[in-house]
């Protein structure tokens, strides 16, 4: 039973997430021959303040960008 975990920033539509779930499920079926009913997908969404690259959260980067556009 494959379990695929995805961590991503929040903000995508329910339709976007359904398409991702279908694509990941199909990839598991095609690549390792997993039965469709055995594929588990876990989506974890996080706010931009909970994800950082290079010591700066995505929330801080967005705030800095918005402040520079005014």
Structure tokens at 40: 């588990």
Cα-to-chain-centroid distance, residue 41: 11
Distance from C-alpha of 68 to C-alpha of 10, rounded to nearest angstrom: 23
For every residue of 1-70, DSSP letters joined together read --EEEEEEES---HHHHHHHHHHHHHHHHHHH---GGG-EEEEEEE-GGG-EETTEEHHHHHHHHHHHH-
Q: What is the pLDDT of residues 15-63, one digit of tens each?
A: 999 999 999 999 999 999 999 999 999 999 999 999 999 999 999 999 9
Query: Is residue 2 among the annotated active site residues?
Result: yes
Catalytic option among 2, 14, 35, 48:
2
* Domains detected in the chain: 3-69 (3.30.429.10)
Q: What is the pLDDT of residues 3-23, one digit of tens each?
A: 999 999 999 999 999 999 999
* pTM for this prediction: 0.84
């Amino acid at each position: 039973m494959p379990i695929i975990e995805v961590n991503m920033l929040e903000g995508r539509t329910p339709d976007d997430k359904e398409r991702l779930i279908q694509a990941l499920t199909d990839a598991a079926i095609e690549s390792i021959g997993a039965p469709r009913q055995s594929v588990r997908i876990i989506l974890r969404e996080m706010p931009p303040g909970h994800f950082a690259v290079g010591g700066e959260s995505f929330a801080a980067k967005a705030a800095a960008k918005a402040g520079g556009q005014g």
